[in-house]
Amino acid sequence: MAKSMENNKAVKMLRAAEEGGYGVIGVVSYNLETITAVVRAAEAKKSPAQILLFPWALHYSPLLIHLAAAACSTAKVPVVLHMDHAQSEEEIIAAAEYPFDSIMVDMSHYEKEENLEKTERITKYLHERGIATEAEPGRINGGEDGVKDTGDLEGLLTTAEEATRFVDTGIDFLAPAFGNVHGNYGGVENIKLDFERLDKIREATKGKATLVLHGTNTFPDATMQGCIKGGMTRCNVNELVLFKYNDYVAKNTGKVPLTELMGKGTDLIQEQIEYQMDVMGSTGKA
Ligand code: 13P
């Protein structure tokens, strides 16, 4: 029997964020340290949170997915599991066998009509299984570790008209391209977001899908808060919470015991996540 979308935890979490005017952190997770840090931070801050895995996890080891799912089901506050940037139908079908609350149907490397057709068909497939979907109309530039490189495809800014067409496919979350970039902006001065465009996209999608933010590397607090004011509900972070950890691991691997490396590393990620929960206004909202 088809599962209902009524009780989807990710949809509920992001609708509550939209109503409450705060953002929920979505942490790109590659390992045990990050997953542990998400749960600890969420519990310490009494904040909702999301663990994000890339399709890389499917190929690396399903154990990472089971670990993340267990972290969500045992957390004392709402923490949900999202597959980010699933770029092929095969990966999405494989991911749907695991307890993901939502999956990003990222067909942005196809031309618009093909992106729409695939998004609609796969959304139906996932909804029948109680899994929420996210799509990316337009194309966010850049790339990151764990996501298949789509080559030199040019970035395309999302229009309100496109956003409407994508929302009509039945998706739950929409990731607009409004100047945001994956990976490195090459300096804070290069973060140039088109908030007027974001306003129009929000108008076109309001009440039908919630907006999610990609590409937050080196975001100043005010920029993050501006995006949330503009309607963003989940804010995806990667380097923004991992940079101290990455630096610490680079400097200390082989020099301190592994237990210390993992323990201190986890603390460094947790600190950054907690900081961002305050910035996003989700502290105390669980
Ligand atoms: P970046 O900020 O590095 O792009 O990571 C967050 C993200 O958007 C993942 O989809």
Question: Does residue 7 sit within a domain?
Answer: yes
The residue from 84, 152, 172, 221 that is catalytic is 84
Q: Does 59 show up as a binding residue in the annotation?
A: no
Could you write out the DSSP letters of every residue in 226-285? HHHHTTEEEEEESHHHHHHHHHHHHHHTTTS-HHHHHHHHHHHHHHHHHHHHHHHT-TT-
| Whether the CB of 136 sits within 6 Å of ligand 1 | no
Residue 214 CA to ligand 1 centre (angstroms):
5
Residue of minimum CA distance from atom 8 in ligand 1 = 214
* pLDDT one digit per residue (tens) for the chain, 286 residues: 457 798 999 999 999 999 999 999 999 999 999 999 999 999 999 999 999 999 999 999 999 999 999 999 999 999 999 999 999 999 999 999 999 999 999 998 888 889 999 999 999 999 999 999 999 988 888 888 888 776 667 778 999 999 999 999 999 999 999 999 999 999 999 999 999 999 999 999 999 999 999 999 999 999 999 999 999 999 999 999 999 999 999 999 999 999 999 999 999 999 999 999 999 999 999 9
Q: Does 66 show up as a binding residue in the annotation?
A: no
Is pTM, for the whole model, over 0.85? yes
Would you state the structure tokens that stand for residue 26, as one six-digit string?
A: 């979505």
Question: Does residue 245 sit within a domain?
Answer: yes
CATH code: domain of residue 36: 3.20.20.70
Question: Does residue 212 sit within a domain?
Answer: yes
Question: Does residue 205 sit within a domain?
Answer: yes
| Catalytic-residue membership of 172 | no
Q: Which domain holds residue 163?
A: 3-280
| Whether the CB of 216 sits within 6 Å of ligand 1 | yes
Q: Is the dihedral of CA 42, 215, 90, 205 positive or negative?
A: positive
Q: How far apart are CA 204 and CA 140, in angstroms?
A: 19
Question: Does residue 285 sit within a domain?
Answer: no
Which residue, 140, 134, 142, is CA-closest to 156?
140
Q: How far apart are CA 27 and CA 37, in angstroms?
A: 10
